[in-house]
Structure 1
Amino acid sequence: MLNGARRRGGAYQTPLYRVPDDLLTIELGTVYPELKGMRLRGRLVGNKVVPYGTRADIERVAIPGKELLWVDDPVEAFFLEVQGSGRVQLNDTGETVRVAYADQNGHPYKAIGRWLVEQGEMPARDVSAQSIKAWIVAHPQRRQELFNANPSYIFFKEERLPDPAIGPKGALGVALTAGRSVAVDAQLLPLGAPVWLATTRAGSDEPMQRLMMAQDTGGAIRGAVRADFFYGFGKAAADSAGVMKQRGQLWVLLPLSQAATLQSR
């Protein structure tokens, strides 16, 4: 959970932005049917659509008037974007609110852990959310350089939180279930399908096999055998998610008629 406020002040200096007014989203399938499901994002300059600003651009010029909330930790704000949703305790009103993915600036997601490996800052086997945060503590002057290695930027919306036990909504518009929901590449695997997962528990060799539901997507999830495991809410969930990079196998359970269609992709 992040600490935040509705108004900027004191420790609350890092904004979470709403969708900007000048962000255009073009559904390419409406023009080219073979591109159904693909989107182009940008902004209008004169009569031309140009790419929207990168993370570095947005951090440099800001988006005045589109601040949804202000939080006290830029590092946790960045990881909130990676997760796509989370909770914020508002210390000026006493509320706890959920913020959820609303849109994205159109630039591809690039893993900052991979950037650290490419820069020779840590071996690939050591990359985790925890090790990345530790590196930032040791190199505070390079924090923004690290963040800018990921040009993707997420915009948020606020959602009601009537029941803290209910998870955030996934791409299907239904609440995710801790330990039973996974995010997949929807270009290759059908959302809503049951999947059988065979892997090991986060950070260990202990086997884990269970039935899951493909209920969400994510910018970093590409490929047929790639899934993000939803651990839920709280410190224990965050600790497990931070080190989860296990190899495994994934079976999609479908009627035979639909399985044949999926194999042809």
Structure 2
Amino acid sequence: MTRALRALLVAGLTLTGVKATAEMNYTILSFEALNGWASDDHTKALEVFQKTCPDMDAPDWRSICAAARDFSDARKFFELLFRPVLIEDGKEALFTGYYEPELDGSRTPSERFRYPVYRMPPEARTAQTWLSRSEIETAGIMEGRRLEICWVDDPVELFFLQIQGSGRIRLPDGSYLRVGYGGSNGHSYRSVGVELVRRGIYRSHQVSAQVIKNWVRRNPLKGSELLRHNPSYVFFREVSQVPADAGPLGAMNRSVTAMRSVAVDPEFVPLGAPVWIEKEGDDPMRRLMVAQDTGSAIKGAQRADIFFGTGDAAGGRAGRLKDGGRMVVLLPIQRAYALLPGAFL
């Protein structure tokens, strides 16, 4: 037995790192109870876990991360050192998808490239709530301050870049510029899809990202007004340290991996933890992923956003996803049992 593994098995816990309230319900499951567990590619999941586990601070997580180097059998690694925990808060599970948009842009403005991607202004950093989207776009407060990272050719795609929080911008010479989340104006997000339904333009099952984009382009004046229904505005930063062929940075400041990284609510799921996904719907999914990201709309114990990759094809798949199922968190053994009623910490 390695030193790292021995330390893991004898370590005591003082904190679980998972939100615990009277409304919560925790159920420890067997791995046999995970539908499709045996047929997944555990090696792929372990590779993704190892990308971010060194950034986890708790002693038990650090020991598990060190022990991961000693296992040639990835499935055995997860089954020996973790226990599956179903965390429920009374709300139904909801899986959605997100992706990294890819836009066309330039580092200099032109007749084609005239929609700026902005850095966060200093005064917005010190304000709890700053100007709304409408005010930012119409008041001219951003102009002449050299806050532009680049300019893109499509305001609708820029809006969805802000929703996703990161993206790649293809420059005229064929190279790429990657931008990541740099802050926001502090306003709450309002769904323009929900607003289209409220106005009677579409029914809820008809709304998708592509449907919204098409409607805004067909109705430019009403479309601009619709987008400003969402007062939230996201600013960006240039992410030059991430290669163009790697995924965007997630909340753990490491590249996320298509179909193996998931955004969660860190109030319930520790960032860096493996999570078992059982997504239902037209295209059921049974897969071990890693909680490496967060999102402003991702709230609740059974809420998850699956990363689909970069570009339009990934965006199309992500935009169609809205399914139920369940998410099971893999926690270190003592951490898992510490969540049960009457556990002594």
Under a length normalisation based on structure 2, what TM-score does the superposition of the two structures give?
Answer: 0.65
1:88 to 169, 173, 177: 169
Equivalent residues in 2 for 1:45-60, closer than 5 Å:
51-60=129-138
Q: C-alpha distance in 2, partners of 1:108/1:190?
A: 24
Q: Distance in 1 between matches of 2:156 and 2:282?
A: 30
Q: List structure 1 segments (4+ residues) > 4 angstroms apart after TM superposition.
A: 260-264
- Check if 1:142 corresponds to 2:222: yes
2:158 is matched with which residue: 56, 74, 77? Answer: 77
Counterpart residue number, 1:158? 238
Match of 2:149 in 1: 68
Amino acid at match of 1:239: G
Using the TM superposition, give the Cα deviation of residue 162 of structure 1 relative to its aligned residue in structure 2, in angstroms: 5.8
On the 8 A contact 1:225/1:249 being kept in 2, the answer is yes
Shift in CA distance, 70/251, structure 1 to aligned 2, threshold 3 Å: same
**Residues 74-124 of structure 1 deviation map (CA, whole Å, 9 limit, x = unaligned):** 000000011111111122x54311011111111111111111111111111
Aligned residue pairs: how many?
Answer: 237
Unaligned runs of 5+ in 1: 26-40, 43-50
Q: What's the offset of the Cα at 1:24?
A: 2.8
**Percentage identity across aligned positions?**
46
**Residue aligning to 1:193:** 273
Q: Which deviates further from its counterpart, 93-102 or 11-20? A: 93-102
CA separation in 2, counterparts of 1:158 and 1:235? 21
Q: Distance in 1 between matches of 2:166 and 2:314?
A: 14
Trace 1:234-245 onto structure 2 (pairs within 5 A).
Answer: 234-245=311-322
Tell me, yes or no, if structure 1 residue 13 matches structure 2 residue 114.
yes
Matched, 1:177 2:257: yes
AA partner of residue 53 (structure 1) = L
Task: Select the structure of larger CA radius of gyration.
Answer: 2
* Residue type at the aligned position of 1:196: W
- Which of 133, 140, 144 is residue 213 of structure 2 equivalent to? 133
| Separation (CA, whole Å) in 2 of partners of 1:135 and 1:260 | 50
- 1:261 is displaced (CA, Å) by 6.2
Structure 2, unmatched stretches of 5+, are 1-101
Distance 1:260 1:78, change over 3 A: farther
1:259 to 1:21, Cα distance in 2 relative to 1, 3 A: same
> Partner letter of residue 67 of structure 1?
E
Task: Please tell me whether the aligned partners of residues 130 and 243 of structure 1 are also in contact (alpha carbons under 8 angstroms).
Answer: no
Structure 2: how far apart are the matches of 1:160 and 1:24? 22
Q: Which has the higher helix share?
A: 2
What SS is found at the alignment partner of 1:192?
coil
Paired position in structure 2 for 1:101: 181
Q: CA contact under 8 A between 2:118 and 2:149: conserved in structure 1?
A: yes
Separation (CA, whole Å) in 1 of partners of 2:171 and 2:340: 48
